[in-house]
């Protein structure tokens, strides 16, 4: 139990540690899936190619992300850091990213800015993944306050980061017992940030998705990559609702029907991809903006459909964490990449570029 008499900053510090710790524990063991809402990947089938004219063994999974070559179109999404056990998790995630030569994000670095104690739990990532793209991470509430040059440098230098990921998490903050729901000035501060930061800025949701109109505003603010992080995987409202009821008992903040709606709030991942693909078609000047598909990715089939729906790569958090917990992280990634190869074979795609141009049949 947190001692409320301790100084304000160490009280905040303990809350942050408790939060990051419970997030891992609740995502591993809690009921945090959307109820009655899916990612939407099941709406689509690839068209079978009876004449693929390729050898399975020649299929090439490599592609690029932000101009650098990566071995496969998969990223390990931002998760953790900022408390002692997080160093071990981040080390293991980094080892897997380095092994597969795929990009990796760390969890929110707010803790590293406020307190020097746990900086190593972030820095460890670069030690164990010296050659892959690594992304720093910070939340919208910190962006809204405005990041100083010193804070930006601290985050980037700790990781020798290749970019900064900003997460937009209004629904999560709304449900979080200690949530910060002041989302004014985020866009304005993002524009200021992209104008001065020496690396690309990626903006993501955490499970409610990014609409085309939000995407357009982000791109106008100088954002180079959008990670849709749509609905169908983890409901972060549910994660925070579990933390809330542990602290305060039953949630009486909302009426029962509205609570059900809010806990399952969000745009399915495949819908976000479809809509943003249409937006990019309408605006040819957005051609260079890269899209990450995430939110409920759970197989190489989902990765393949993401690419055919316009994503540069797909990213996964919860399934990576679960696999790590079960000691099967490398096996899981290998299996997903093999799923992807199988779909490429049957759709007649020898390369990721060819897969991106394959037709999906919309069964809806
Ligand atoms: C334990 C855990 C902690 C997370 N912490 C962060 C975070 O600090 N910053 C962030 O941008 N996203 C965070 N996320 C969200 C993921 O990066 C991702 O956007 C979201 O979980 C949806 O992807 P998924 O369905 O594959 O889990 C976290 C996810 C997990 C599982």
Compute, in angstroms, the gap from residue 317 CA to the centroid of ligand 1: 5
Q: How far apart are CA 101 and CA 132, in angstroms?
A: 6
Compute, in angstroms, the gap from residue 29 CA to the centroid of ligand 1: 15
Token match 């509430």: residue? 141
Right CATH for 8-362 from 3.40.50.720, 3.20.20.70, 3.10.20.90, 1.10.10.10? 3.20.20.70
| DSSP run (H or E) holding 68 | strand 68-70
Residue of the nearest CA to atom 23 in ligand 1? Answer: 295
Residue of the nearest CA to atom 22 in ligand 1? Answer: 295
| DSSP run (H or E) holding 13 | helix 8-29
Residue of the nearest CA to atom 31 in ligand 1? Answer: 318
Pocket lining: 193 vs ligand 1, CB cutoff 6 Å? no
Give the number of other Cβ atoms within 10 Å of residue 216's Cβ. Answer: 17
Give the atom of ligand 1 at the shortest distance from the alpha carbon of 20: 3
What is the full DSSP assignment across 102-171? --EE----HHHHH-STTTHHHHHHHHH-TTS-EEEEEEHHHHHH---HHHHHHHHHHHT-SEEEEE--HH
Give the atom of ligand 1 at the shortest distance from the alpha carbon of 165: 11
Compute, in angstroms, the gap from residue 349 CA to the centroid of ligand 1: 31
Pocket lining: 167 vs ligand 1, CB cutoff 6 Å? yes
Q: How far apart are CA 237 and CA 205, in angstroms?
A: 13
**Mutation pick for ligand 1 pocket among 295, 318, 323 (CB with most ligand atoms within 8 Å):** 318
Residue of the nearest CA to atom 30 in ligand 1? Answer: 79
Tokens of 323: 């696999």
Q: How far apart are CA 206 and CA 302, in angstroms?
A: 18
**Alpha-carbon Rg for the chain in angstroms:** 20
Compute, in angstroms, the gap from residue 226 CA to the centroid of ligand 1: 15
Compute, in angstroms, the gap from residue 7 CA to the centroid of ligand 1: 30
Q: How far apart are CA 79 and CA 294, in angstroms?
A: 13
pLDDT string in tens for the chain (364-residue length):
334 444 555 666 788 888 989 999 999 999 999 999 999 999 999 999 999 999 999 999 999 999 999 999 999 999 999 988 999 999 999 999 999 999 999 999 998 998 888 899 999 999 999 999 999 999 999 999 999 999 999 999 999 999 999 999 999 999 999 999 999 999 999 999 999 999 999 999 999 999 999 999 999 999 999 999 999 999 999 999 999 999 999 999 999 999 999 999 999 999 999 999 999 999 999 999 999 999 999 999 999 999 999 999 999 999 999 999 999 999 999 999 999 999 999 999 999 999 999 999 999 8
Q: How far apart are CA 204 and CA 215, in angstroms?
A: 10
Compute, in angstroms, the gap from residue 319 CA to the centroid of ligand 1: 10
């Amino acid at each position: 139990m947190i001692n409320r008499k301790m100084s304000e900053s160490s009280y905040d510090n303990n809350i942050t540690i408790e939060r990051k710790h419970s997030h891992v524990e609740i995502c591993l063991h809690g009921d945090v899936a959307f109820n009655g809402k899916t990612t939407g990947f099941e709406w689509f089938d690839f068209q079978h190619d009876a004449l693929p004219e390729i050898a399975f063994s020649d299929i090439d999974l490599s592609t690029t992300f932000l101009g650098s070559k990566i071995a496969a179109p998969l990223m390990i999404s931002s998760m953790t850091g900022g408390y002692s056990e997080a160093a071990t998790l981040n080390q293991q995630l980094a080892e897997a990213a380095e092994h597969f030569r795929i990009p990796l994000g760390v969890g929110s670095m707010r803790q590293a800015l406020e307190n020097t104690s746990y900086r190593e739990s972030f820095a460890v990532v670069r030690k164990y993944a010296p050659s892959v793209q690594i992304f720093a991470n910070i939340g919208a509430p910190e962006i809204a306050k405005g990041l100083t040059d010193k804070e930006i440098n601290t985050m980037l230098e700790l990781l020798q980061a290749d970019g900064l990921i900003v997460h937009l998490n209004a629904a999560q903050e709304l449900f979080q017992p200690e949530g910060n729901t002041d989302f004014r000035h985020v866009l304005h501060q993002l524009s200021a940030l992209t104008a001065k930061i020496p690396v690309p800025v990626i903006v993501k949701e955490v499970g409610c998705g990014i609409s085309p109109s939000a995407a357009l505003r982000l791109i106008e603010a100088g954002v180079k990559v959008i990670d849709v992080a749509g609905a169908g995987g983890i409901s972060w409202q549910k994660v925070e609702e579990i933390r809330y009821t542990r602290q305060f008992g039953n949630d009486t903040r909302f009426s029962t029907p509205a609570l059900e709606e809010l806990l399952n709030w969000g745009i399915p991942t495949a819908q976000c991809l479809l809509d943003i693909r249409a937006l990019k078609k309408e605006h040819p000047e957005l051609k260079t903006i890269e899209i990450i598909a995430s939110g409920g990715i759970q197989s190489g089939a989902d990765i393949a459909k993401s690419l055919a729906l316009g994503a540069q790569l797909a990213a996964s958090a919860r399934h990576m964490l679960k696999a790590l917990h079960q000691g099967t992280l490398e096996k899981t990634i290998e299996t997903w990449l093999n799923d992807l190869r199988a779909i490429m074979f049957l759709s007649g795609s020898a390369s990721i570029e060819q897969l991106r141009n394959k037709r999906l049949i919309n069964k809806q």
